[in-house]
Amino acid sequence: MYRDKKVFVIIPAYNEAATIGDTIKAIPPFVDTVIVVDDGSVDASATIAAEHGALVHRHARNRGVGSAFNTGIRAARELDPDIIVNMDADGQFNPADIATLIDPIIEGTAEFVTASRFKDASLTPKMSAVKIWGNKMMSRLISSMADQTFYDVSCGFRAYSREAINHLNLFGVFTYTQESFLNFAFKGVSILEVPIPVRGKRAHGKSRVASNLFKYAYYTAKIIIRTLRDYRPFRFFAGVSLALFAGGLAFAVFLAVYHAHSGSFTPHKWAGFTAGFLVLLSALSLVLGFILDMFARMRINQEQILYQLRKLGK
């Protein structure tokens, strides 16, 4: 135990035989249990992890980092940890920094603590300019949605208190990093970023999450949009409504200006029909936002019930 706290580490792994053994060996001895979720590996990742004392849970096929993370969380909950740390198996994170992550939780400073690669500019890892720009843009987007300032919402080295884990309810299978920020922010869970040095590149192989930036952007955008839709539906659909209304207004102004100069609507009557259609869609989007906002309140109540059941250990 570390300062009378039961600490678990969750490691999702997919074909990480080259590094997973060294990663587990470097985990500090105060960690009570290491759980490795083998996400359909075709190499010896699971075998090596078991040989190094980890509890191994296997997916028959590759299901994604988000799915592996959820499997690890469910497995850990059954053993009643006080703190859960998740990290990757690729050697980019130093297990010796686990204490740095969990100390704020033990001290009561935060319920969710994440390593930050960009909060301290002097610790920015060696990465391509495109990846750095993409990470910073993603952090700004999540910050605007959560009404908080975050510097790094994509790092996979994090610590969760028992309270945070009881609140956690994720659905993304491709990744979990951005969704968890929104999930916690919307529920009022205290979040802290701790600057920690991280290797910018894997020791072996390619990242299965960020190796294809277009794929990463597509799947991450889906998760973010769904999360915003589920927790802030009126805000989401009000934005859609505003965009549609602005488009309709633009077509209406175009037609009005043309009529003022020519005295006729021909041959641009189509602009009037388009304007009317877009304004109608705008109104429908606004109504839909009101309706879904009611369902979102019901969802929040259901998640509060789930949270209370988890606290009771049911």
In angstroms, rounded to a whole number, what is the distance separating the alpha carbons of residues 187 and 169? 11
Instruction: State how far the Cα of 112 lies from the Cα of 84, in Å rounded to an integer.
Output: 10
Sign of CA dihedral 230, 232, 236, 241: positive
Rounded CA separation 270/255 (Å): 9
pTM of the model: 0.76
> Residue 51: enclosing H or E segment and its boundaries?
helix 45-51
Selection from 12, 223, 238 nearest residue 138 by Cα: 223
> Is residue 260 within 8 Å of 268, Cβ to Cβ?
no
Whole-number CA gyration radius for the chain: 24
pLDDT computed for residue 145 by the predictor: 82
CATH topology for 7-231 is: Spore Coat Polysaccharide Biosynthesis Protein SpsA; Chain A (3.90.550)
Question: What's the sign of the alpha-carbon dihedral 303, 304, 306, 311?
Answer: positive
**pLDDT by residue, tens only, the chain of 314 residues:** 677 899 999 999 999 999 999 999 999 999 999 999 999 999 999 999 999 999 999 999 999 888 999 999 999 998 989 999 999 998 899 999 999 999 999 999 999 999 999 999 898 888 888 888 888 888 988 898 888 999 999 899 999 999 999 988 877 667 788 888 988 998 899 999 999 999 866 666 565 555 566 776 777 777 777 777 777 888 888 989 999 999 999 999 999 999 999 989 999 999 999 999 999 999 999 999 888 887 777 777 677 777 777 777 75
For 70-92, give one letter per residue: b (16+ CB within 10 A) or e.
Answer: bbbbebbbeeebbbbbbbbbbbb
How far is the C-alpha of 113 from the C-alpha of 119, rounded, in Å? 13
Can you give the pLDDT at residue 205? 59
The pLDDT of residue 95 is: 95
Cis status of the peptide bond prior to 267, with omega within 30 of 0: yes
Closest C-alpha to 51, from 93, 83, 14, 17: 17
pLDDT of residue 208: 56
The DSSP call for residue 5 is B
* 8 A C-beta contact, residue 44 and residue 69: no
H/E segment holding residue 59: strand 55-59
Find the angle CA(55)-CA(163)-CA(145) to the nearest 5 degrees: 105
Q: What is the dihedral of CA 95, 14, 150, 170, to 10 degrees?
A: -120
- All structural domains of the chain with their residue ranges: 7-231, 233-311
d(CA 312, CA 308): 6
Counting DSSP H helices and E strands in the chain, the numbers are: 10, 7
Of 16, 154, 180, 156, residue with least CA distance to 85: 156
